[in-house]
Chain A
Amino acid sequence: MAVLLIAELNGAELATDATAKALTAAKAIGPVTVLVAGQGVDAAAAAAATLDGVEKVLKADDAAYAHGLAEPLADLVVSLAGGFSHVVAPSTASAKNALPRIAALLDVMVLSDVTGVVDADTFERPIYAGNAIQTVKSSDKVKVLTVRTAAFGATAAGGAAPVEAIAATGDKGASVWVADEVVKSDRPELTSAKIVVSGGRGVGSEENFALIEGLADKLGAAVGASRAAVDSGYAPNDRQVGQTGKVVAPNLYVAVGISGAIQHLAGMKDSKVIVAINKDEEAPIFQVADFGLVADLFDAVPELTSKL
């Protein structure tokens, strides 16, 4: 059992939290080799090498991998896959893009969003927006899986693995990167934040979303949003929490003006403590909230922010 873990990168930087959480799942299967594929990734490879339990880091430094395009990354991983029984990555947008492509090239199935490792062949994953947990046993020669990071703790630093540079496998140029439109934020990253404050349709406008941000800043929290809030333009798409957005499991999740549709709950119902502030006492969010406050958010949120 040898595991190839594909490190998550933000540009040339290691996305340490996502990689370290996926590493926790990977270590439960067998010895882990981490692949860092990007451009100018010396520091990222060195950072990956310090994670506890990593046996070796493979560094593929090439312009082909600079923007996380699926085609060149898939070709690279397939060229390495012969030496591994498992290919693992955190369930991020970039891994969801590349891993199914890798799996199909290897003629194996992919296991998406794994939340539990039972043994080397058997895994748990949520289906139907998290309303059922399926345990599946793979009969494939190579197991290709993405790991739901919210379900695993992060592996700490404490290792000193060797870094080996490997050759790039080239880029056939089928896809070309044009531009990134990155949302700038000084707040904690949504999927790794300890506290998340999310706003929904009830917030009413983009301007009013400042109320949510004010409360989040007071708590040192990340800001999330429901689909309704994103669709209405109150918040950017990368803040969406839910079945099709990000899945979070912070210590504290504060849902403000969010009714609690199945698709939203799928992204936050594993949070440790859930608080709901909503003026509709029949809102489904109150069925999962540990503490519910039936109140107008325009009164309650400023009061809460000022009293914290």
Chain B
Amino acid sequence: MKVLVPVKRVIDYNVKVRVKADGTGVDLANVKMSMNPFDEIAVEEAIRLKEKGVATEVVVVSIGVKQAQETLRTALAMGADRAILVVAADDVHTDIEPLAVAKILAKVAEAEQPGLILSGKQAIDNDMNATGQMLAALLGWPQATFASKVEIEGEKAKVTREVDGGHQVIEVKLPAIVTADLRLNEPRYASLPNIMKAKKKPLEEKTAADYGVDVTPRLTVVKTAEPKGRSAGIKVGSVDELIAKLKDVGAI
């Protein structure tokens, strides 16, 4: 079974973002970019399926600017077999919407015929949490979102999902889309020899036009603003003082 893993290049999760003064967006010039943390978990799970002999090939795909190549190389260094880059934007500030990404991924899936697509549950930049579900809809496949455990049993996947009250276990017929939650696994680090080897693995470059997908956004960004700041707090010296302050403001 072939496993397809979509990965996204996003601002590094440790970076404190800066909203541009003119309200046009977040400043992404000269900031550290990395693979979306949830996608690392998806890649790791795919590689583990290969190590268990369940998956035969792991193909990673990324959509965006040319520099997303680096993200794909990282996935290859972790253990993916080959990569597809779909160039759909010239500028790092152009975030392709989940609907367009899902349409491109659906075309990639039609060409590659994977038995399973493993994606992250959300990207930490647009916080949409939508692409996996949209892709499942477009392909007419079942979906298992927010997965914390995946067991492949023949033609089915048994997936434990993180839901509001605890966990839910469902079974989906393959092919299916599974989106990874944080607790699915602990992603490995790529070793230096593997990073070197990854440079020789195949990376195919395509464009959105190759797949006939229109990436025009449906949502126009009117403005991007800083969230309301909190007024400075105070440090109290003791538990008694804390209780007194909380009573003063009516919090308890």
Contact = CB atoms under 8 A, between A and B. Distances in A.
A304 B126 contact: no
Contact of A132 (B19, B163, B164, B181): B19
Contacts of B221: 134-136
Nearest to A176: B171
A286 B233 contact: yes
B127 interface: yes
Q: Helix, strand, loop or mixed for chain B's interface?
A: mixed
Given A252-B252, A307-B240, A69 B170 contact: yes
A304 B238 CA distance: 10
Contacts of B233: 274, 286, 288-292
B26 A104 contact: no
Interface in B180-238: 181-183, 217-227, 230, 233-236, 238
Given A113-B127, A127-B127, A132-B19, A104 B138 contact: yes
B129 to A, nearest CB: 5
B249 interface: yes
Given A10-B165, A286-B233, A131 B218 contact: no
Interface footprint category on A: 35 or more
B127 A100 contact: no
Interface stretch (A39-47, A161-169, A180-188): A180-188
A1 interface: no
Nearest to B238: A293
29 contacts: A69-B170, A70-B145, A93-B146, A103-B130, A104-B102, A110-B128, A127-B127, A130-B227, A132-B19, A133-B225, A134-B224, A136-B219, A136-B220, A174-B141, A177-B170, A179-B169, A181-B166, A227-B182, A238-B162, A238-B164, A243-B127, A252-B246, A275-B242, A286-B235, A290-B234, A291-B234, A292-B233, A294-B235, A308-B252
The 4 lowest CB-CB distance pairs between A and B, nearest first, are: A100-B130, A174-B142, A100-B133, A104-B137
